[in-house]
Structures are given as structure tokens and as C-alpha cells.
Amino acid sequence: MSGIALRRSARLVTSNSVSITHTSVPTTNHRSERDLSELSELDSEPELSPRPVKRARKATASAAANGASQLQGSSQDTLATLPVNIEPTEPTKKPRTRRKGPPPEPKPEDFMARTTNRWKVGPHVSAAGGVENAIVNAASVGANAFALFLKSQRKWTSPDMKEISISAFKARMKTFGYSASHILPHGSYLVNLGNPDEKKREQSYECFLDDLKRCEELGLHLYNFHPGSTVGVATKDESLSLIAGCINRAHKDTERVVIVLENMAGSGNVIGSTFAELGGVITQVEDKSRVGVCLDTCHMFAAGYDIRTNEGWNETMAEFERDVGLQYLRGMHLNDSKGTLGSKKDRHQNIGLGELGLATFAHVLSDPRTRDLPLILETPAYDEPGTSASRLGKEGMDVWRKEVEVLNRFGNGVHGEGEEAKMYDWTEEIREVVQAASRKHDAKGKSVKGVEAGGRKRKAGKRKRGAKDAEEEEDGGDDHCESCSEEG
């Protein structure tokens, strides 16, 4: 609020000063139109405040220095008498373009207090503008865990992380009180370690290893990725061995990061939709202390595991214990599902609004087995924050804020009495926020074009937009599991 007020008063100074100095000052209004269309993953430049305001401030200051003590109260009338005094002091001299210092470092006190229960919930947040921004985005929705991409998830190679980003990330992890064991970076969508084509697998491995090294540079312990695909050429068993081979190699090429296999929805040739397949990779991994599994609720359901009831959830977990082993559970993706049970459709829906329903998350989040794991939301956000210093952590993400809040009620043990009515009310709370955010998103119309739900900008004309793109956009952060079989 104070930021807005400040900016408004700055504009006032600008317009007053225009009349003083007769300097042509461009209007600053277009700045306020800055929106998602300017969001770029590589845009690390902080939003500069419009320079004219500074010039104007300087002019006003020098007016004051000129003994214009009558400025007190600075009414328009008083200012109007000033030009005679001002003009000679700074004739045609161009104001020095001073480099703006770094924006003030965000402080935890500026954000909502975070709940302290042992179920660590948070979304897959944007790291646009630098990995360190992910922490601010997470804090601003009250998240106790979060996921992020460590580089563009659709490119084979990306520039190294900047030193300044790495140190800012580490510093913010400390200041904001996040533990590395609750951060679950997500891998590239292009990587397919199960590809029988050696050249293509090698390319995948390089991209994969680069990500693991980024984790270690940031002091992170976990790394989540999609196991891969047979691309319709290899048998599943062959691909399982290829994946395990790459993991063994990666363990030798890195020091400590734990490689976490994600369960998949089960379309096409994709590996990992059954617990048996995940277990099949793990049994071939030599260093079992550095491999794990992340269970995605939407993928489980789409793959045929019915976790809608507490009994169903417990049976599913018993199956996981049998086929994989509970000790390997290192994280979860909490997503509702647009697809029905066994549909094999990887379509994420907001919590409570899909086929799973809110009750599913009530039993998942009161199960001690899911404590102290990163529990990551990959639901549609509709509205992501800007990367600029002035907008970072202050705008957008209302949907995630609400989802985190509601899910934390389960972790805080609030549910119990009047279960059904409560589930209904809380679902409606989420629905309301989702509807408001999606209306806002729709109203932005053209300005959002080219930006996916995950806040990622896609190069115009790079790929023809089709129905699939539209579907993908709805799915938020993690909807490309099928791409393995296409890209592989």
C-alpha cells in the first residue's frame, strides 16, 4: 500500500515540476501497464523507476536549496512563482544518469506469517529474474516448501546461474527460514534417460547432470524428474535399466544430491506410472541413499490408484511400501485431477475442484508418512508475480495463497467435526478465488497471450498453437509428462 502511495506522490511531484522547469517530461503512465507480457525468464533487470521523476525531484530539491523557503506546503500556487529562481541554477545541463542501487532486500517481516506444522506445503513457483526470486514468491503465499525450475525447462542448454543469484538464493534461504529438504527442484521436460538412442540419451544426460550440478551449487538436496519413455522402441525393462544406468553415472558425477523419480499418469510409452516400474529403476541403483520417489496425486489417480478415500489411500501406500519402499518417499505433488480414475490423463486441477476432491487431501495431509516432505502444488495459478523489484512478492498468486492456506488447515489438525460441510465450504473458498483469478486472467486478454499458466513466455511463432497448447496452459507447472515420448 505504502509503495503505491509513494509512487502516486512521486507522480504528483513530476507534474508539478513540469510546470516549473518547462522540461518536457514523458508521462509515466505506460509503466503501470507493465504486465505479464513483459515477463521473461531471463529478465533479471529490476524495474527502474521512471527517470523523469528523479530529475523532477532534483529540480525541486535545488529549488529548495535556492532559499525557496516559501516552498513549505508546496502548493501549486507557490510553485508557480518559482521558475525565475530555478531556471538559472541548472541551465541546459543534463542531469547525471546515476546508476540505481540494488532494490531493497525483501524481509520476512514484510510477508504473511507461515504456519509451523510438519506438513510442508507450497507451490511450484516462478524463478523468473533469478532463482533467488523463487524464495520471495514462495514466502508471499505462506509456503513452507516450494519447487522451481533451475533453468528453462524446454531448452537443452541454458546460461550458467549468475554468482550473484546463487549467493542471493543461499542468503534468502537462511533469512526466510527454508530448509533444503523442503525444496524440490523440477527437471527439464526434454530429458529422457530411458531413450534407447545413445546419442539422444547422452544429450539428455548432459542436461540432467547440469541441473544436478545447479542443485549442488545452490545447496539443495533433492532433484525431481520424469523417469523417461521407451519412445516406442525399447521395452519397458530396457528403459528402466537405461534410466538406472544414468542415475548411477550421475551419482558419480555429483556429490550429494538425491535423485527423485516422479510417478507418471501413464500415457503412451512413459515410464513410471506404476509403483513397480519406479521400484524397477531403484533396485538397479547402486547408491540407494541418493534415490527417491515423488508421488503426484493427480498422476496416481490417472494411473488408476484410487486415493479418494482414506482406505484407498492406505491401500495405495501399502502397495507403494511393497513395490518401492516408504523410505524412498521424498516428496509429493499435490494436484487435483481433471481426468477420471485410470484415465491416464495428466491434467492438473485446482485443489478440491477436480475428480479427487478436497477430502483426498484431508487424509493425505493427516498421514504421518507425508510429514516433513516437500508437498508441492502444481495447480493452475492464473496470475503469477512480476519479476520486477516493485512487484516481486506483492502481486498475483492468490489461488496458491488460498490453496496453501486451506491445505495447512489439515496439517494443523483443524478438520474432524462436521467433515462434509467443512469440505464443501472450504472447496467453495478455493473455487471463489480461482474464479476471480481466472476472470482477471481472461480480462487481460491479449496481454497474457504467449504466456502460459506457469508464467513462462513462449516465443511467438516458434510453434503453432493448437488445442494441445491450450490444454497445457491450463495445467500449470507440470503438464508435459507426455512430451517425453514426443521429444525422445
User: Which residues of the shown chain bind Zn ion in the complex (CB under 5 A)?
Assistant: 262, 346, 478
The catalytic residue among 189, 205, 223, 305 is: 189
Least distance CB 473 / Zn ion (angstroms): 14
Which residue out of 11, 124, 201, 348 is catalytically annotated?
348
Residue 78: all three cell numbers together? 507557490
- In the annotation, is 210 catalytic? no
- Selected catalytic residue, list 182, 226, 251, 480: 226
| Catalytic-role residue among 47, 277, 296, 475 | 296
Q: Pick the catalytic residue: 378, 384, 473, 479?
A: 378
Question: Known catalytic residue: 296?
Answer: yes
Sign of the dihedral defined by the CA atoms of residues 26, 29, 30, 31, in that order? positive
Q: Which of 405/478 has CB closer to Zn ion?
A: 478
Least distance between Zn ion and beta carbon 186 (Å): 6
Strands 270-271 and 348-349: unpaired
Q: Which is nearer to Zn ion, 472 or 478 (CB)?
A: 478
Question: What are all long-range contacts of 98-104, with beta carbons under 8 Å and residues at least 24 apart?
Answer: 98/54, 100/46, 100/48, 100/49, 102/46, 103/46, 103/389, 103/390, 104/389
In the complex with Zn ion, which residue's Cβ is closer, 130 or 187? 187
Report the residue number, 52 or 194, with the smaller CB distance to Zn ion: 194
Q: Which of 64, 59, 274, 46 is nearest to 164 (CA)?
A: 46
Instruction: Pick the closer one to Zn ion by CB: 336 or 478.
Output: 478
Question: Other CB atoms closer than 10 Å to residue 109's CB: what's the count?
Answer: 6
47, 132, 262, 277: the active-site residue: 262
Q: How far is the CB of 123 from Zn ion (least distance, A)?
A: 13
331 grid coordinates: 516428496
Element spanning 409, H or E: helix 398-411
Q: By C-beta, is 43 or 474 nearer to Zn ion?
A: 474
Q: Is 299 known to be catalytic? A: yes
**Catalytic residue status for 305:** no
Dihedral of CA 246/248/253/257: which sign? positive
Q: Is 189 a catalytic residue?
A: yes
Q: Which amino acid belongs to residue 68? A: A
Q: Is position 415 annotated as part of the catalytic site?
A: no
Q: Are 120 and 182 in contact (CB under 8 A)?
A: yes
226 is catalytic: yes
Known active-site residue 262? yes
Q: Buried (b) or exposed (e) across 76-93, using 16+ Cβ within 10 A?
A: eeebeebeeebeeebeee
Candidates 319, 313, 430, 424; CA nearest to 365 is 313
Strands (E), 374-468: 374-377
CB of 147 to Zn ion, least distance (A): 9
Tell me the three state secondary structure of residue 337: strand
Q: Is residue 197 annotated as part of the catalytic site, yes or no? A: no
Minimum gap (Å) between residue 396 Cβ and Zn ion = 22
Q: Please give the Cα distance from 262 to 142 (Å, whole number).
A: 25
Tell me if residue 68 falls in helix, strand or coil.
coil
Q: What is the DSSP letter of 46?
A: P
Q: Least distance from C-beta 121 to Zn ion, angstroms?
A: 17
Helix (H) or strand (E) holding 237: helix 236-253
Annotated catalytic residue 22: no
Place of cell 515477463: 39
Q: Which is nearer to Zn ion, 346 or 383 (CB)?
A: 346
Min dist. Cβ of residue 76 to Zn ion (A): 58
348 is catalytic: yes
All three cell numbers of 37, joined, read: 507480457
Q: Could you list the active site residues?
A: 154, 186, 189, 226, 262, 296, 299, 333, 346, 348, 378
